[in-house]
């Protein structure tokens, strides 16, 4: 992509939904829909797409957009009484024109600030006042950063608790080719297996590879996780802050067929690795604020090329 001036543009996306297009000087870009406050595209300086969005995704409220980075708030999955993954992903967010200050070192980024506050309808299902500020930023080198700041603005003195996830859909080459796609950084971690009534297990010592449906919640993981894609000679490095857990999900063939907004074969080309806070819900008293940060980098090489040793990445 030709180098140019960094830009942030509000424009119309699919079905006329508002979206913001971020473009970095060296050509990397990202798209964020105000519907769901959802990133739906992240491209590197070569214009290659890093995230998966289903060809069958509905860009139509109230259905969540299948792909990109949906935000699960105030509930992850069915871990509570609300709808699956809470309601933030099917609400229309606003552009935040007056966000509180951000750390000085983020000045070089190209970014957009969004905000979500409860509607009267939301208040009926989750009776709490909050301000959810989300900054989506692109660094000069093309890294994608999402920073969530959630503040309890209840005036009745009540605290509230929530669970959370950045439900990231990574675009990968054929996941069925044994060990072509592997996850490093979760070895020996404990996890809850959602395919076995959330029974608790400990992960084996090696990298995670895929040969069937997986739905695991890894607990208190390291802050860095690597997703290696040998075929694409690419490694995603996921760094997270304030998000102790990590979910790994692929529906495989049978569940893929059961999802209306997901192509039967698309499970081959996506993997969800989600920075999350699930095991211990976050509790905020009035006036308190929580921050959860996700940073994604895509390194153009893979373990077998010897250029990138995931252990070095994870320890570096
Ligand atoms: O993160 C995995 C998961 O919680 C699974 O339950 C799976 O259903 C996936 O999320 C997608 O959920 P959705 O509600 O978007 O169909």
Confidence of residue 301 (pLDDT cuts 50, 70, 90): confident
What per-residue confidence (pLDDT) applies to 107? 58
Q: How far is the CA of 100 from the centre of ligand 1 (A)?
A: 32
User: Among 2-16, 58-72, 91-105, whose mean pLDDT is lowest?
Assistant: 91-105
Active site residue 274: yes
Q: To which residue do tokens 């449906």 refer?
A: 213
**CA-167 nearest atom, ligand 1:** 1
Take atom 11 of ligand 1 and give the residue whose Cα is closest. 77
User: Among 104-108, 136-140, 203-207, 277-281, whose mean pLDDT is lowest?
Assistant: 104-108
- Ligand 1 neighbourhood includes 249 CB (under 6 angstroms): yes
**CA-89 nearest atom, ligand 1:** 15
* HSE-CB for 24 with a 13 A CA cutoff: 25
Confidence of residue 312 (pLDDT cuts 50, 70, 90): low
Higher-pLDDT residue of 44 and 312 is 44
What per-residue confidence (pLDDT) applies to 44? 96
Contact 128, 154 (CB under 8 A): yes
Q: Looking at the predicted structure, is the pLDDT value of residue 163 above 80? A: yes
Residue 248: closest CA among 278, 220, 272, 222: 272
pLDDT, tens digit (0-9, with 9 covering 90-100), for 11-44 = 999 999 999 999 999 999 999 999 999 999 999 9
Site to substitute for ligand 1 among 53, 62, 215, 246, most atoms within 8 A of C-beta: 215
Take atom 14 of ligand 1 and give the residue whose Cα is closest. 84
Confidence of residue 305 (pLDDT cuts 50, 70, 90): very low
What per-residue confidence (pLDDT) applies to 205? 80
**Active-site annotation holder among 24, 180, 266, 274:** 274
**Active-site annotation holder among 167, 180, 184, 215:** 167
Contact 133, 149 (CB under 8 A): yes
Mean pLDDT of 150-170: 98
What per-residue confidence (pLDDT) applies to 307? 45
Site to substitute for ligand 1 among 56, 64, 66, 85, most atoms within 8 A of C-beta: 85
Q: Looking at the predicted structure, is the pLDDT value of residue 316 above 60? A: no
Active site residue 167: yes
What per-residue confidence (pLDDT) applies to 177? 72
Mean pLDDT of 171-181: 85
**CA-77 nearest atom, ligand 1:** 4
- Ligand 1 neighbourhood includes 76 CB (under 6 angstroms): no
Task: Give the predicted TM-score (pTM) of the model.
Answer: 0.95
**CA-272 nearest atom, ligand 1:** 1
CB under 8 Å to 158, separation ≥6 — which residues?
A: 128, 286
What per-residue confidence (pLDDT) applies to 311? 53
C-alpha to C-alpha distance for 263 and 241, rounded to whole angstroms = 33
Average pLDDT, the chain: 93
Take atom 10 of ligand 1 and give the residue whose Cα is closest. 77
Q: Looking at the predicted structure, is the pLDDT value of residue 264 above 80? A: yes
Give the pair of three-digit tokens for residue 239.
């760094």
Q: Looking at the predicted structure, is the pLDDT value of residue 303 above 80? A: no
What per-residue confidence (pLDDT) applies to 306? 46
Helix (H, G, I), strand (E, B), or coil: what is residue 305? helix
pLDDT, tens digit (0-9, with 9 covering 90-100), for 182-233 = 999 999 999 999 999 999 999 988 899 999 999 999 999 999 999 999 999 9
- Ligand 1 neighbourhood includes 128 CB (under 6 angstroms): no
Q: Which residues are annotated as a binding site?
A: 66, 84, 89
Q: Looking at the predicted structure, is the pLDDT value of residue 272 above 80? A: yes
């Amino acid at each position: 992509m030709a180098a140019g001036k960094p830009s942030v543009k509000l424009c119309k996306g699919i079905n006329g939904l508002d979206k913001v297009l971020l473009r970095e000087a060296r050509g990397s870009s990202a798209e964020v829909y105000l519907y769901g406050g959802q990133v739906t595209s992240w491209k590197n300086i070569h214009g290659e797409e890093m995230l998966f969005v289903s060809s069958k995704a509905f860009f139509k409220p109230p259905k969540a957009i299948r792909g990109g980075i949906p935000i699960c708030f105030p509930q992850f999955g069915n871990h509570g009484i609300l709808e699956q993954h809470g309601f933030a992903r099917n609400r229309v967010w606003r552009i935040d024109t007056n966000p509180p200050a951000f750390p000085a070192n983020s000045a070089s980024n190209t970014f957009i600030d969004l905000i979500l506050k409860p509607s009267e309808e939301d208040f009926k299902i989750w009776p709490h006042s909050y301000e959810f500020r989300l900054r989506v930023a692109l660094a000069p080198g093309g890294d994608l950063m999402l920073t969530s700041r959630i503040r309890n603005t209840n005036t009745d003195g009540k605290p509230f608790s929530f669970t959370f996830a950045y439900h990231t859909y990574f675009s990968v080459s054929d996941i069925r080719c044994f060990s072509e796609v592997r996850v490093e950084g979760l070895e020996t971690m404990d996890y809850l297996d959602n395919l076995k009534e959330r029974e608790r297990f400990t992960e084996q010592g090696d990298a995670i590879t895929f040969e069937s449906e997986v739905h695991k919640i890894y607990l208190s993981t390291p802050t860095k996780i690597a997703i290696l894609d040998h075929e694409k000679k690419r490694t995603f490095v996921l760094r997270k802050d304030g998000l102790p857990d990590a979910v790994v999900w692929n529906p495989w063939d049978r569940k893929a067929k059961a999802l209306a907004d997901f192509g039967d074969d698309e499970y081959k080309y996506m993997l969800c690795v989600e920075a999350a806070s699930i095991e211990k819900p976050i509790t905020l008293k009035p006036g308190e604020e929580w921050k959860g940060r996700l940073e994604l980098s895509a390194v153009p090489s893979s373990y077998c090329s010897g250029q990138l040793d995931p252990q070095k990445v994870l320890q570096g």
